[in-house]
Chains A and B, each alone.
Chain A
């Protein structure tokens, strides 16, 4: 392995690593704009210049590869490369580049959405000058829409071309290009093909400055007011890793979180803007019981008691409906509770999309079908006919939380039931047909594990506080089970549910928040179902 000496530090690194990567991996900060690990190297921003011994001029560290050199060319007889990222020349050059980048920049940080997470701002503080020497008029251009969700502030753009390369290399849609030349260059979208692909939102994330902005988030808040929580997207079975930015009980935006086993650096716009669904939907925050056409509020004790009564009276003729939208723990507990018929509602599928870069949007728009199938024991394939065959007359439903109209088959089934208990967070069509509604948590409030369609178990952290009197879904199920005298054990948290789950389904044995970590863990095909 080549031996690199960087700022006096000796580092052994893999041949073919760039100086920039080596520095980053070893805690040495080299500033850069145009480089992005997922995109082709262009080396145009000139921000990452470093001094390489033996080279007459400064080298861009993003395109300087360390490799084995023959013994006679080794520096000091042992180093394959010697790099200085801190000498006067490099320090001065960073100042120079930042000066150029800020010549026409409006310096409007106080009204810029990027402020607080802007590399122009951060590097200027760290490496730049305090004053401008530019005495001429600045170039001023109006903002433009590149697509329905992305707006560009040309005055802040530093032309790093990350966004252009993204549409060429990742989405493969090539809507963006650099228009005109030199000083007049600007990012533009094709006239007849605006930036409206399903990955468009990512360009705002990879923009290192405040040029590309998502219209969904623009001027809504300041980044330092928001709480940032790692989580997992629940809008399809890929399970992209995300960061949830929220203030109090409101999500402001989602951004992708790096995970090379799942989504790489990106996420799709379905997931990115998916959280707005929870704003529009009517939330259920209190246990309710049907009273004619409307519902009466109930306290938890009463609601649980009533539910247990109904199930007991049905003499084992209650079917459980698990949900691919819920966590493994909730589904597992429902399976445990129902030793009769267990099934699920018809799946929600759309077209599967795979981009040239390998990025995938799954056809299955539920996040946890794989997990549900893994940990519920037997799930009947044809629930409607099974209901008929077994003369089922009660249903306990873990609601998907997706507002969809039931088809005729299901309308008929629901009409025939003696009772329907729906555990849900939203007043869906299904909830409206219930006798008892038990208020659970919405997707970003839940905690537990989900398993994506490539067998990866990921930990879902609750990003938002629960609303009203709603309770964690596993907790509700635990309470019902107790009332049914089914389960003696009291679970203090999800972890304890997982413990029991692991005993029954060995693939899930030993899972914990710490073991899964931020990037989840593969089951390596050990789970059945």
Chain B
């Protein structure tokens, strides 16, 4: 299995890997040179053929997304690089921006060229100040070397890149929330339709792609869609950065092919659980994915399809590991509290429901449990985010997927660790 050679993070251990000379030395910007001589449609087709799926969380096929840009629109088109990485347990984009910023930038120019965009944005999470400073330098450097600006590398193609800092809201990572924020408004996700590819930034066609997604592009162009598709499962192939945190000996970002087993990630790459403790539960894809029990986690493959089958999701590939000492009720409260804090407050179920969950779980943890609390937790989560059972057709009750993002993990906690929740309920008196 370990024949895989990292693609995106191949050079991150080397000194000066973030600099332009280094990146050029290892073949950087050759893909761009190649792309600028291609038809934009062919670039889109190549990406479609590669089956590259978005690395931000939803896993939507990137090439298909680009294809939604209306061909006959005379409005300007925009590309937004979503660098607002804020899913708990996820820190891969930050690594890519620190260690391989030019790889990401090259990906941006390729994507922008493919969709016919001439102004593009990097929406970077406000807390990433160091990365922001670095990106400013990198963008300036790119302008100086004719990699951005007018007539890039002597072609007819021009592109400007603007860096915009977010102000610290989780919801601004949702693409329409991000667009609103970029327009200077409150980060309230927009109702769809229209989708951003039709009416996005300033009501113009807009594509929002994640840092890691864009970083994949130079490699797809250089080595071909066939190569990309050969890595991991065909429906969602490619290299993937897995962020492993929580109760492991060696937390960090690990690049592996899609479909790697979770067991291998935790016990091999991340060095297993400290002090010989037992694995209890794992978030496979950030805190908004449904949690997996140790039994479920131990033989799961990290692949879009398989995790959906397990009623969870690959999400942002932020793996959070919990060992036997973790109190699942308190962990659940912790997660609920995060989402209540980050709910934008626009949609009724999410605004009111998240706060209700927190109030209820807080009461539970503080010893005020009531007999029907568990039933109520199920009902509230269902009413916020709906059931994860896709066949029932009753999921998604809010404008953006935030409702699901809070409902699914909380529900999975209660469902899978019901026993622990029961301990917080008033004990039935045994009549002697």
Contact = CB atoms under 8 A, between A and B. Distances in A.
A104 interface: yes
A184 B351 CA distance: 9
B349 A97 contact: yes
A475 interface: no
B348 A45 contact: yes
A358 B122 CA distance: 38
A100 B349 contact: yes
Interface residues of A, number: 39
B393 A133 contact: no
Nearest to A98: B348
A57 B386 contact: yes
Interface in B389-403: 390, 393-399
B191 A159 contact: no
Interface in A145-185: 158-159, 161, 177-178, 180-185
B370 A135 contact: yes
A57 B394 CA distance: 5
B335 to A, nearest CB: 15
Contact of B390 (A56, A60, A89): A56
A135 B370 CA distance: 10
Contacts of B345: 159, 178, 180-185
Nearest to B402: A182
A42 B390 contact: no
Interface in B339-372: 340-356, 359-360, 363, 370
Contact of B354 (A42, A161, A182): A182
Contact of A60 (B191, B349, B355): B191
A403 B356 CA distance: 58
Nearest to B358: A183
A104 B348 CA distance: 12
B354 A100 contact: no
Interface string A28-54: 000000000000011111110100000
B172 to A, nearest CB: 11
A96 interface: yes
Interface in B182-201: 186, 188, 191, 193
Contact of A104 (B193, B352, B390, B393): B352
Interface in A45-79: 45-47, 49, 56-58, 60, 63
B383 interface: yes
Contact of A183 (B191, B351, B370, B397): B351
Contact of B394 (A58, A135, A139): A58
Interface residues of B, number: 37
Contacts of B393: 56-57, 89
Nearest to A158: B348
Contacts of A161: 346
A337 to B, nearest CB: 61
B152 to A, nearest CB: 38
B411 to A, nearest CB: 15
A327 to B, nearest CB: 47
A103 B352 contact: yes
A93 interface: yes
A44 B341 contact: no
Nearest to A59: B396
Contacts of A57: 386, 393-397
B329 interface: no
B356 A182 contact: no
A44 B348 contact: yes
Nearest to A100: B352
Nearest to B186: A178
Given A101-B352, A159-B345, A136 B360 contact: yes
A134 interface: yes
B376 interface: yes
Contact of A46 (B340, B348, B394): B348
B347 A44 contact: yes
B398 A46 contact: yes
B223 to A, nearest CB: 37
Interface string B380-423: 00010010001001111111000000000000000000000000
A137 interface: yes
B370 to A, nearest CB: 7
B244 interface: no
Which of B347, B348, B353, B396 has the most CB atoms of chain A within a 10 A radius of its CB? B348
A41 B341 CA distance: 26
Interface in B162-195: 169, 186, 188, 191, 193
Contacts of B383: 96, 99-100
Given A42-B191, A46-B397, A136-B363, A185 B348 contact: no
Contacts of B398: 46
A137 B359 contact: yes
A183 B348 contact: no
A364 B313 CA distance: 65
B376 to A, nearest CB: 7
Contacts of A185: 345, 351
A43 B395 CA distance: 17
Nearest to B191: A43
A177 B397 contact: no
A100 B397 CA distance: 13
A512 B341 CA distance: 61
Contacts of B352: 100-101, 103-104, 183
A308 B397 CA distance: 76
B168 to A, nearest CB: 10
A183 B355 contact: yes
Contacts of B399: 43-44
Interface in B316-356: 340-356
Nearest to B349: A100
A185 to B, nearest CB: 4
Contact of B355 (A93, A159, A182): A182
27 contacts: A42-B191, A43-B399, A44-B188, A46-B397, A46-B398, A57-B386, A57-B393, A57-B394, A58-B394, A89-B394, A96-B383, A100-B352, A135-B370, A136-B356, A158-B348, A159-B345, A159-B348, A178-B345, A180-B345, A181-B343, A182-B340, A182-B350, A182-B354, A183-B345, A183-B352, A183-B355, A185-B351
Q: 8 smallest A-B Cβ distances: which pairs?
A: A185-B345, A182-B343, A183-B355, A43-B191, A100-B352, A136-B359, A57-B396, A96-B383
